[in-house]
Structure 1
Amino acid sequence: MFTGIVQGIANVVSVEQKPGLTTFGIRFPQEHLNHVTVGASVAINGTCLTVTSQDGDQLYFDAMQETLRLTTLGDLSSGSLINFERAARIGDEIGGHLLSGHIHTTAQVTAIERPENNCTLYFEVPPEWARYVFPKGYIAINGASLTIGDVTLNTFTVHLIPETLRATTFSELQTGDRVNIEIDSQTQTIVDTLARMGYDRPLQ
């Protein structure tokens, strides 16, 4: 499990493509490598991956074709920056909301506004996932737990403060970029339960 609090930014140094498998070599800040072992879980842009090997400050992860299909990891190349979070431990503070690291879908950045000391990002999700997006609800974008702002049909906004921009890769986003989306599990359960009872939510 993960908390949605991004611990830092790491740098992709290699991408090795094999039949049915892609191996990522990612360089991490040294202070976040304590007690890392092969088999540990790390969220890479919100996607839970398993450490397969380590070489100094570089960790290696394998991603199957299905993972690449469902996420934006297939867009990564050498030099790409990613958000990361190591798996939560019992007793850790939950500063965001609990995440599984299983990506539901991707969204596209449709607009960016940068008023002084603020940043508003606009995202468009596939229509079938918009039913789980509510104003003031939780959503995970590239592994970061964020509060949803406005919602119109299948478009929503998030408002970011300077500290969030500093600690994540969101300052690098551009219009047209894709991001990983994990829907809040409690919201999904409630919406699906109500739909089975005949109280489906119309898009507005």
Structure 2
Amino acid sequence: MYTGIIQNYLPVKSVSNAPGLTSFSIIFTPEILKNLQTGASVSIDGVCFTVTKVLENEVFFDAMQETLSKTTISSLKVGQKVNIERSSTEGAEIGGHIISGHVHGMAKIIAIEELENNHVVTFQLPERLSKYVFDKGFIALDGASLTVVDADFDKETLKVWFIPETLSRTTFGFKTVGDMVNVEVDQQTRVIVDTLERLLPQYLDKNK
């Protein structure tokens, strides 16, 4: 599990593509590398990965076909910077919200507004995810726990206001219009919406 508080953004060192499998490595800083072992879980742009190998400060991961088909990892390039968060430990502070690292889909950046000390980004959501997004609710984008400022159900878009601190600690300071990001909706919201969708019609039928 993760908290959505990005610890750093780090460069991709290598990418090796094979049918249905992409292996890649990232150069870790000493702080994030500390006590990291093979088998540990790391969130990379919001996707949960297992460490397959550690060579000094270079850490290796594998992405299977399912991950490649549903996330931005399929377009990973050498030199690209990615958001990193080590898995949370028992008793650790949850500064964002609980994130599983199981991405539900991808969103596209369709507008960026530069305001004084603010950076407003509009995202186009996949149709099937828009029902889980509400004003002031949580959402994880590329692994970062963020608050939805404006959710438009008709247009299936959402806006996020980034403060300078968030921009300096994540890759969102480099994003441009057209870029894709990984989306994980809030799990509690998803359960509530899905439960209501399943049970409400049954309840209404019984009480006609």
* Residue of structure 2 in register with 1:76 after alignment: 76
Aligned residue type for 2:96: G
Structure 2 CA distance for aligned equivalents of residues 122 and 33 of structure 1: 33
Structure 2 CA distance for aligned equivalents of residues 75 and 136 of structure 1: 31
Structure 2 CA distance for aligned equivalents of residues 10 and 40 of structure 1: 18
SS in 2 for 1:66: helix
* Residue of structure 2 in register with 1:202 after alignment: none
Aligned-residue Cα RMSD (Å) equals 0.9
Aligned residue type for 2:198: R
Q: How does the TM-score come out when normalised to structure 2?
A: 0.94
Greater helix content? 2
* Residue of structure 2 in register with 1:188 after alignment: 190
Cα drift, residue 13 of structure 1: 0.9
* Residue of structure 2 in register with 1:198 after alignment: 200
Q: Which runs of 4+ in 1 moved over 2 A?
A: none
CA deviation profile, 1:16-60 (whole Å, cap 9, x unmatched) = 112321101111112211100000000000000000001111100
Cα drift, residue 198 of structure 1: 2.8
Q: Please, which moves more after superposition, 24-33 or 172-181?
A: 24-33
CA contact 1:4–1:98 (8 Å) conserved in 2: yes
SS in 1 for 2:88: coil
CA deviation profile, 1:168-197 (whole Å, cap 9, x unmatched) = 000110000000000100000011111113
* Residue of structure 2 in register with 1:124 after alignment: 124
Structure 2 CA distance for aligned equivalents of residues 86 and 30 of structure 1: 13
Structure 2 CA distance for aligned equivalents of residues 197 and 65 of structure 1: 34
5+ long unaligned stretches in structure 1:
200-204
Q: How does 1:80-99 map to 2 (within 5 A)?
A: 80-99=80-99
* Matched residues, number: 199
Which one of 157, 161, 168 corresponds to residue 159 of structure 2? 157
5+ long unaligned stretches in structure 2:
202-208
Cα drift, residue 135 of structure 1: 0.4
Q: How does 1:5-154 map to 2 (within 5 A)?
A: 5-153=5-153, 154=156
Compare CA radii of gyration and give the structure with the larger one. Answer: 2
